[in-house]
Structure 1
Amino acid sequence: MKPQFLIAAPHSGAGKTTITLALLRALQRSGRRVQPFKCGPDYLDPKHHTLAAGQECVNLDAFMMTAQHLPEVYQRYTQQADVCIIEGVMGLFDGARKMEGSSAALAALLGVPVILVVDAQAMAYSAAPLLYGYKHFFPDITLAGVIFNFVNTPAHYRILEEAAADAGVPVLGYLPERADIRIPSRHLGLHISAESDYNAIIDAAADHLSAHIDIEQLQQQTQTPVPAPAAEAPGSSSGVLRIAIAKDEAFNFTYRENIAALSQLGVIHYFSPLTDTVLPPADLLYFPGGYPELHLPQLAANTGLLQQLRQYEGRILAECGGMMYLGESIVDETGNAWPMAGLLPVSTSMQSPALTIGYREVHIGDVIFKGHEFHYSHYVKVPDITGPAIRVLNARQEIIPGTVFHTPRLLAGYMHFYWGDNVAGLQRVLGLPG
């Protein structure tokens, strides 16, 4: 038995990320080994979780991961933890299709209780039917308790306590409004600020939460049996590949299980397209997503590395920002075009940014990859090179326009691929040794 739970809310913006970070830091400061998880494909919240907990956060995504692989991953990382905390995504029941892939579906699959964060700043006794509905709508989950956020006064909180009691939901406490612990705005919805800034905010949030929430009661309320792991953790590399992964301020969006899967194919080294002038010896180069648009002068000025990349003869994997870097140029918000690697017949632009978001399923012959798109940039002109052997589908299994660059030595696109449970598919499409 150990405390393990999913933090959810009726809707986005209720404060579940701030409360998750505060709990992670408060528990970490008390000497507990706390393992953070993030429901869904997000990259930014896991970075914050890792900083708050001192343990690397792991994504759990019921769309991208198979029903066997997901609980295996969860169980593996829970074994050495004292407390396990999953931050949900959007509203508790919001999924790709109805509840599919939602926080509620994840809680049911893993058998962990839910703590609901309710924005109560404009609510009083109406919290009772809200909580009653969330408790009874989906009987496969357990609502372990509620935290009321943005509560105006102690008198306001007493009304909310009465509402929760009438709905049969335990109350774990409340948090008054604190403007200084709000997460800073992010570049186009994505950017992470300096680590020192976030540490100060997380510490303040942990202090605030500890003053109003009984953390010991919360842990007692969420004690749940932990099943033994169904699969052994990945061991040391048995592969022969030399794998070089771009990792710096421009390229840093990776899934932990993707890296673990790659490590089974060979030895991983990291390099920086921003600062390294020599391309490392590698059989496979991986350019993950990130913020190339924030570092265009520096990336374009590193001409030696770009030239070496044009002459590289090994395999290449690139996603979103990494794919943009492999194109002919990236146009910044002012209209200036910055030359890039030129390995792909396309240019991308940050002018007139518009959000593209959603789950994707890509069929390359008989190999299927699942993943996610989240970007504001766009192609200057949409290249027509996908071909009949490649199909792109959304979460509703509808064929949609989408460009995936594939040759015997390259796989690239706007989609962030998940291959943590499908490294064999990656080997097949890139011709990597088994």
Structure 2
Amino acid sequence: MKPQFLIAAPHSGAGKTTVTLGIIRALHNRRLAIQSFKCGPDYLDPKLHTIASGKTGINLDRFMMDDAHISSVYNAYGNDADVLITEGVMGLFDGSVKMEGSSADLAGFLNIPVVLIVNAKAMAYSVAALLLGFKLLRKDIHIAGVIFNFVERESHYQLLKAAAEDVGIRALGFLPKNEGMQIPSRHLGLKTGSEIDHEVIIEQAAEHIQKHIDLDELMRITAAPFFPSSFPLPLIAKGQRKILIARDEAFNFLYAENIRILAGLGQVSYFSPLKDTVLPAADLIYLPGGYPELHLGTLSANTALKQQLVSYYEHGGKFLAECGGMMYLGQYIADEEGRQFPMTGILDVSTSMQQKKLSLGYKRMLIGGTELRGHEFHYSHFTEIPPQEQDIQVWNARDEALQTPVFKTDQVLASYLHFYFGNRAAAIEKLLFG
């Protein structure tokens, strides 16, 4: 038995991530080993989890991963943990299609209890109806407790607590608003860059949680059976291939399991398109997504590295590029004012941040009989839509066929899609190396 639970909310904006970070750090400060997970494809929240716990935050996603893989990853990373904490995504029942792939879907599959974070600033006894609806919608989901957020007075909390007790849900405390534990956001989520002192914010959140929330009761009511796993987690390199991964402030949307799989295909090392002027030797260069649009001047001005990337390509070098990485391989990226910043020019395509429009959602891609899954989340767009290759098919989560440009040659696999290939090692090796 281990305390393990999923932190969810009725809707986005209830303070779920901040409360999650505060609970992780508060328990970590008790010298407990905390393993955190994030429901869904989000890259940014797991980074914050890692800061809070000192252990890598891991994604769990029921669209991109098969069930056996989810179980293996959850149990393997949880082997050495005292407490397992999963942060939900959006509202508890919000999925790609109705509640498919939702936080509730994951909690039901893992058979772990749910702790609800409710923004109760403007609510009193009516919260009973909300809690009862969440409790009854799915019988396989156990809502073990509730934390009321943005509640300023004890008298207000007592009204909310009575409502929770009347529907059979344990109230674990309330949190007054605390300006010191707010993490600023940008267009893809909470900021995770060096411009924010996350350590200070997370520690303040932990102190706030410790003061107002009954953590002992939280761990008691969420204890559930845990099944250890022999799933291999070490990043053990195999073979002589050199796999080079871009990782800096511009390119950092990386799944830990993707890195583990790539490490099984060769020797993994890292470089910075922002700072490095010498390109290390490589058999494959992985350019993940991130925020290239925030660093256009620096990326464009690093002509020494761009020229070496072009030379690498001209001599048969291979690329895997996702979203921002694909944009970097193009001719130029235009900022919101329309200023064009030359990139590597390897792909005959250009992208722009003008007239931003959100493209969001799961995708399934079939390339020559090999299926990959992933997620799109970007505001940029192609300046001219390139043609879709005939032998590549793309569908969304509703199995609707899409006209989504994908670049696939013997040397390049690139698109706006962020791939998850943690459970498809053979497929990704076939596509990248033949």
Q: CA deviation at 1:185?
A: 2.6
In 2: Cα distance, 1:235 partner to 1:57 partner: 16
- For each residue in 1:70-94, what CA deviation from the matched residue of structure 2 results, as whole angstroms up to 9, or x when unmatched? 1110000000001110000000011
Q: Percent identity?
A: 55
Q: What does 1:229-268 correspond to in 2, within 5 Å?
A: 229=229, 231-233=231-233, 236-268=236-268
Q: What does 1:2-401 correspond to in 2, within 5 Å?
A: 2-187=2-187, 189=189, 191-194=191-194, 197-229=197-229, 231-233=231-233, 236-312=236-312, 313-384=316-387, 386-401=388-403
Which one-letter code corresponds to 1:197 in the other structure?
A: D
- For each residue in 1:101-128, what CA deviation from the matched residue of structure 2 results, as whole angstroms up to 9, or x when unmatched? 0000101111111001111111111111
Give the TM-score normalised by the residue count of structure 2.
Answer: 0.97
Q: 1:81 to 1:188 in 2, by over 3 A?
A: closer
The residue number in structure 2 matching 1:407 is: 409
Q: 1:131 to 1:187 in 2, by over 3 A?
A: closer
SS in 2 for 1:68: helix
In 1: Cα distance, 2:309 partner to 2:172 partner: 55
Which one-letter code corresponds to 2:118 in the other structure?
A: V
In 1: Cα distance, 2:58 partner to 2:115 partner: 19
- Name stretches of at least 5 consecutive residues in structure 1 with no aligned partner: none
SS in 1 for 2:260: helix
Q: CA deviation at 1:200?
A: 1.2
Deviates more, 1:153-162 or 1:232-241: 232-241
- Name stretches of at least 5 consecutive residues in structure 2 with no aligned partner: none
- For each residue in 1:158-193, what CA deviation from the matched residue of structure 2 results, as whole angstroms up to 9, or x when unmatched? 111110111011111111122232221325546424
The residue number in structure 1 matching 2:419 is: 417
Q: 1:317 to 1:235 in 2, by over 3 A?
A: closer
Give the TM-score normalised by the residue count of structure 1.
Answer: 0.97
Q: 1:237 to 1:225 in 2, by over 3 A?
A: same
- For each residue in 1:262-285, what CA deviation from the matched residue of structure 2 results, as whole angstroms up to 9, or x when unmatched? 000011010111111111101010
Q: 1:361 to 1:23 in 2, by over 3 A?
A: same
Contact in 2 for aligned 1:234/1:264 (Cα 8 Å): no
- For each residue in 1:227-247, what CA deviation from the matched residue of structure 2 results, as whole angstroms up to 9, or x when unmatched? 121634356222221100011
- For each residue in 1:115-165, what CA deviation from the matched residue of structure 2 results, as whole angstroms up to 9, or x when unmatched? 011111111111112111211211111111111111131111111111011
In 2: Cα distance, 1:388 partner to 1:196 partner: 45
Q: 1:188 to 1:416 in 2, by over 3 A?
A: closer
Contact in 1 for aligned 2:183/2:191 (Cα 8 Å): no
In 1: Cα distance, 2:404 partner to 2:334 partner: 20
Which one-letter code corresponds to 1:346 in the other structure?
A: V
Which one-letter code corresponds to 2:346 in the other structure?
A: L
SS in 2 for 1:370: strand
Following TM superposition, the consecutive aligned residue runs of length 4 or more in structure 1 with deviations greater than 6 angstroms are none
RMSD: 1.3
Contact in 2 for aligned 1:238/1:266 (Cα 8 Å): yes
Number of matched residues?
431
In 2: Cα distance, 1:190 partner to 1:168 partner: 34
SS in 2 for 1:240: coil
The residue number in structure 1 matching 2:428 is: 426
